[in-house]
Structures are given as structure tokens and as C-alpha cells.
Amino acid sequence: MPAKDLHEEPFDDGTITKLEIFEDYAQAWIPTFVMKAEPIICIFDFFAGTGYDKNGIAGSPIRILDKIKDHIGYIFQKRVKIRVYVNEYEPNKVSQRKHELLVKACNEYLETNQDVKRAIEILTYNEDFETLFPKLLPEIKLYPSLVYIDQNGVRFLSDKYLLQFEKMTQTDFLYFASSSYLRRLGHTEQFKKHLQLDIELLKEVPYNLVHRNLISQLTLRFSNNTKLRLYPFSIKKGTNIYGIIFGASHPRAVEKFLSIAWKKNDVNGQSNFDMDQDIPSAQLDLFGIQKLTKIQKFKSTLRDMVLTGQITSNFEALDFVYAEGHIGKHAADVLKEMKQKGEVSYIANSPCINYEKVYKEKQLIKFNLPKK
């Protein structure tokens, strides 16, 4: 398994993309539970690193503290206590320097940000994830929790850990995985003892899609009635493909993650590169036919499904949006255009395909096809 020490060098662009998605999700997650005045909420950073890179750029634990600071007023007003669990462990090293640096970085941050210090309880660990995760599981299950598993490699995606999240209703998680290593090393005993995947299938899909395929395979390991959904965000660094795996059971969490992912990449919402060759698709193919982009394909499929009566309301449209990893706006654009053309009618100014209208306000909008 790759065991590169990120802190011996500055964060690269791919790492910054990952950290930005991690922190954007914390930014969206914290107020959800603070505004509900939950007495205790928890954030777990199991692979926290040292706090900063060589150039002083903040890593995941400091970014988490910064996001807490952004919401500090409401945290006090609503009397919410945030427990922040940070862990850093060097498996094959005698020195615990990285853990010491982590503790120092967090303490220094809290000394200069006394408001954050008062708002949180910080718990620092120097333990192998393998032993720490089962110890902290009761806490993860008990409170609304956000869990970061920023591992090197892929090992901790094994059933022993991943399937635990299926049993939780108020936990969102972000994994990091070195997906393309699986193509090269997935057949070795070292990998096979942790992860049972179809490595041949991973090799058959185009290289750029390896992370997406990994997520499809992981999803197959869940039970049929699972509520847990996984979403990928692929990150290319040099020739390797890594990626974030976001998981949550609640549609509100799904909505938040997808909107962050589409803000990061408004062409495919799923990577820091052109994984589906959407950009050349502005051109004509060999036969002079316009190739559709990912968004165009989604819109065209949705239109067909409305016209054939497979999707009849904003509730069903939003289900389709989440299943396809899109955002409500893509679907709303389709319905508005169809209404303008007289292909469909609905009694509302907007088709209301978003979390607020569907899950909070429960405002059902029926899509009516013209009578023939």
C-alpha cells in the first residue's frame, strides 16, 4: 500500500482540492445541527496529519476548527457543544513526532482563538485507526457525527468499517481512497485480505473512471434496503487517480454534498478533471453528430422520462436527480423549458425540485402531460 508522508512536502493541487471539499462540507454540515440546537455534535478526523504542511498551509484538523469559528455566534447562542476528535498515528515509526505536531498545532490554534476553545471539547489520539474506530463507534452512533477517514491507500474501506455506516442515521462521512492503486495491486494478497472487489472489472473500465467504478462496487456490498448512498469525487494527481467517497443516509446531506461537488466542477460535478470527455463534446463526432455532455445527457433522459410518464412529480424528479448525482437546478431547467414549449404543465411558478420544497415543505408539484 502507498505510504507517502504528505507532510514532508507541500500539499499539491489535488490535496488542496480534497481539503477544500472536506472543509466545504464541514461549512455546510455544522449549521444544520447548530440551528437545530443539538446539545452535542461530533466531528472525527481519524487521519489528521500534523495540522499544517511544510509551507504552513492548513490541513484537515485546522480547517475543521476554522469552520467551527465561522459559526461561533450561533454555536454559543444555541448552546451546542462540539466534540472534535483528532487522531494521528504513524504505523511503522518509533517516533510520534507527527502526533506531537498535531497536538501542538491544535493547541496553538485554540490559544489564539479562545472563542473556539470555549465552544469545543477537543480529544486527541495517537492510535491505529484499526483500534480507535471500534472504540469511538458508540460515540459516532450516539450523536450527529461527521467522520473523515483521510487514509493513505484503500485498506480501511473494508466491510469491517464501511458497513458500520449503514447502521447509522445521523452520520455523514468522507473517505479518501487511492483508487488507481487497486488496478495495479488489487490482486495481491495484501489487498485481497482487506477488500473483496472485482479487480478485473476495475481494469476493464476506462482508467479515468476507476474511482467511480470503485464506488459502484462498494455500493453492491450494502443490503438491498439500505438508505446509505455513496457519491464519488475523483482527483487526478499526476498519473494516479484518487478520490473522495462521500456517504450519508439523509437526503439533506446528499443535497449538500452534490451542490459542493457541482460548484467544484460545473461540467461533471464529479472530478478535478474532464473524466467523461465532456469538453471535446462541444465538437461534432466523426459522423457529424453532436455528442452530448453529461448534463445534456441527464436532461435528455429526464425529459424522456417525463414525456413517457415515468416521472410525474417533483418528488420523483428529485429522486432521479440524487440517483444520478446531479443537482435540482439541472432538472428544474428541463421542466421549465418543457413548460415553455407546452410539453408539460404544472401549477406553480417553479417546478420545485430541491430538498427544501420536497423534504421540508413537502410541496408536491404534479407534472401534467397535454391530453391527446
Judged by CB, which is closer to ligand SAM: 9, or 121?
9
Q: Phi then psi for 204, rounded to 5 degrees?
A: -75, -35
Give the interface with ligand SAM as residue ranges (CB under 6 A): 6, 19, 47-49, 59-60, 87-91, 98, 128-129, 150, 152
Task: Provide the residue type at 18 as one letter.
Answer: K
Alpha helix ranges (H) inside the chain: 13-35, 60-70, 72-77, 97-112, 114-119, 129-142, 159-162, 179-185, 189-192, 199-204, 210-219, 251-264, 294-307, 314-323, 328-340, 355
Report how far apart, in Å, the C-alpha atoms of 331 and of each of 160, 275, 293, 325 are.
37, 22, 15, 12
Judged by CB, which is closer to ligand SAM: 140, or 344?
140
Task: Please state the closest distance from residue 176 (CB atom) to ligand SAM, in A.
Answer: 6
Task: Please state the closest distance from residue 298 (CB atom) to ligand SAM, in A.
Answer: 33
Judged by CB, which is closer to ligand SAM: 91, or 288?
91
Judged by CB, which is closer to ligand SAM: 47, or 346?
47
Task: Please state the closest distance from residue 91 (CB atom) to ligand SAM, in A.
Answer: 5
Residues in a beta bridge with 241: 236
C-alpha cell recorded at residue 163: 458497513
Task: Please state the closest distance from residue 110 (CB atom) to ligand SAM, in A.
Answer: 18
Q: In whole angstroms, give the CA distance from residue 345 to residue 327.
A: 22
Q: Phi then psi for 89, rounded to 5 degrees?
A: -145, 135
Q: In whole angstroms, give the CA distance from residue 131 to residue 197.
A: 24
Task: Please state the closest distance from residue 47 (CB atom) to ligand SAM, in A.
Answer: 4
Judged by CB, which is closer to ligand SAM: 57, or 348?
57
Judged by CB, which is closer to ligand SAM: 47, or 85?
47
Task: Please state the closest distance from residue 79 (CB atom) to ligand SAM, in A.
Answer: 30
Judged by CB, which is closer to ligand SAM: 42, or 332?
42
Q: In whole angstroms, give the CA distance from residue 321 to residue 299.
A: 10
Task: Please state the closest distance from residue 288 (CB atom) to ligand SAM, in A.
Answer: 47
* All residues at 6 or more sequence positions from 212 whose CB lies less than 8 Å from its CB, including other chains: 205, 232, 234, 270, 275
Judged by CB, which is closer to ligand SAM: 49, or 186?
49
Judged by CB, which is closer to ligand SAM: 140, or 334?
140
Task: Please state the closest distance from residue 230 (CB atom) to ligand SAM, in A.
Answer: 20
Contact 3, 49 (CB under 8 A): no
Task: Please state the closest distance from residue 211 (CB atom) to ligand SAM, in A.
Answer: 16
Q: In whole angstroms, give the CA distance from residue 64 to residue 46.
A: 13
Q: In whole angstroms, give the CA distance from residue 64 to residue 122.
A: 12
